[in-house]
């Protein structure tokens, strides 16, 4: 007994619609970073002339609180500026508004300012941004206290 494919198509359509319309309320809550962190800032640059990476590092401290904002301290003498300001985050991106940063000022140090990708699991905070194919700024922090 052969069943023609034309008779199975409505059944397959009903199954497909049923499977695709299923909704779920099982969402994972987003844990927003707050507290005190310590770690390293990395500036990774790819030199297209010699085809090599050069990396500069600075040890930093980051304090974050929704009510007071953020502050960067630590080794801020050469590569990264000490700074403070406000921040906001969702599940994927974090934005820092650095009160000490001015786009009109000449560039001397990196600032934690702008929109970054981030990962946070409650103890490890990674913040990064990639500019084109030659520059990556990355912050690797561990939570020290709430």
* Residue 115 pLDDT exceeds 90: yes
pTM for the whole structure: 0.78
- The neighbouring-strand residues paired with 129 are 137
Segment 26-80, tens digit of pLDDT: 666 777 899 999 999 999 999 999 999 999 999 999 999 989 999 999 999 999 9
Task: Please name the residues in contact with 117: beta carbons below 8 A apart, sequence gap of 6 or more.
Answer: 92, 93, 94, 127, 128, 129
Mean residue pLDDT of the chain comes to 87
Q: Percent of the chain, pLDDT > 70?
A: 81
pLDDT at 6: 52
DSSP-assigned states of every residue in 62-83: EEEETTTEEEEEES-SSSB--E
pLDDT at 30: 75
pLDDT at 146: 82
Higher confidence at residue 12 or residue 83?
83
List strand residue ranges (DSSP E) for the chain, in order: 35-47, 52-65, 69-74, 83-89, 93-98, 114-120, 124-131, 135-145
Q: Percent of the chain, pLDDT > 90?
A: 74
Higher confidence at residue 7 or residue 131?
131
- Alpha-carbon distance 137 to 14, whole Å? 50
């Amino acid at each position: 007994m052969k069943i023609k494919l034309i008779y199975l198509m409505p059944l397959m359509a009903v199954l497909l619609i049923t499977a695709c319309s299923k909704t779920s309320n099982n969402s994972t809550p987003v844990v927003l970073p707050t507290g005190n962190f310590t770690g390293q800032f990395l500036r990774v640059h790819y030199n297209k002339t010699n085809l090599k990476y050069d990396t500069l590092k600075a040890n930093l401290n980051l304090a974050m609180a929704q009510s007071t904002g953020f502050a960067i301290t630590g080794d801020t003498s050469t590569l990264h500026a000490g700074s403070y300001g406000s921040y906001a985050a969702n599940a994927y991106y974090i934005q820092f508004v650095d009160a000490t940063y001015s786009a009109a000022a000449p560039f001397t140090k990196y600032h934690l300012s702008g929109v970054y990708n981030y990962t946070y699991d409650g103890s490890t905070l990674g913040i990064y941004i990639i500019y084109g194919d030659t520059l990556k700024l990355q912050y690797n922090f561990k939570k020290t206290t709430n």
